[in-house]
Structure formats: C-alpha cells, structure tokens
C-alpha cells in the first residue's frame, strides 16, 4: 500500500509548525513542506486549497485538509491519524 501524500504549509519560527512536523517525523512520515512566511503564490495556493485558512500549519493528507497542529494531535490521540497515513 502506498502512503498518501502529506503536505504541510508552514512559516518560519512557528512553534505549532514545529510541533506538527515533529509528530509527522515521529510517525516516519515523509511530507512536502511549503514555506508561506513571505506570502506569495504558495500562500495563495494554501488559501485556495483550504478555504478560510489564515493560520499555519495547514496539513493536508491525500489532498484533504485535516487542520493544524492541534487537529493533527487530536487525530493521533483518537487513534485515527495512523489510518489516514496509510498505517
């Protein structure tokens, strides 16, 4: 089974971004990280893909927005993150 693509939009110096990436790293998940610190096309892309998103991180698994750091941690606590990650 192929692991779903995981993407994360982040900003430099964001503690929530660091926490979300640490959780993904602890799961051995590879992910594409998009830095939106300076705005630009990736920030516009994030807002198109996750309507209403004004904060980072924004995590997408298999193209579906799952939210930010707290949402990711909540999925993990509920035992649902591993299934989303193809585990």
Query: Cα–Cα distances in Å, from 29 out to 39, 59, 82?
Result: 26, 13, 10
CA torsion 48-49-55-56 (nearest 10°) is -130
pTM score, two decimals?
Answer: 0.94
Q: How confident is the model at residue 1 (pLDDT cuts 50, 70, 90)?
A: low
Q: Alpha-carbon distance 39 to 73, whole Å?
A: 26
At the fourth CATH level, which superfamily is domain 6-84? Glutaredoxin (3.40.30.10)
pLDDT tens sequence across 30-73: 999 999 999 999 999 999 999 999 899 999 999 999 999 999 99
Domain ranges of the chain: 6-84
């Amino acid at each position: 089974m192929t692991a779903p693509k995981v993407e994360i939009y982040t900003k430099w110096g964001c503690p929530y971004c660091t926490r979300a990436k640490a959780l993904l790293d602890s799961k051995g998940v590879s992910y594409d990280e998009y830095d939106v610190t300076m705005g630009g096309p990736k920030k516009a892309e994030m807002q198109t893909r996750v309507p209403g998103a004004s904060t980072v991180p924004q995590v997408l698994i298999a193209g579906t927005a799952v939210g930010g750091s707290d949402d990711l941690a909540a999925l993990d606590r509920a035992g649902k993150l591993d299934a989303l990650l193809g585990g």
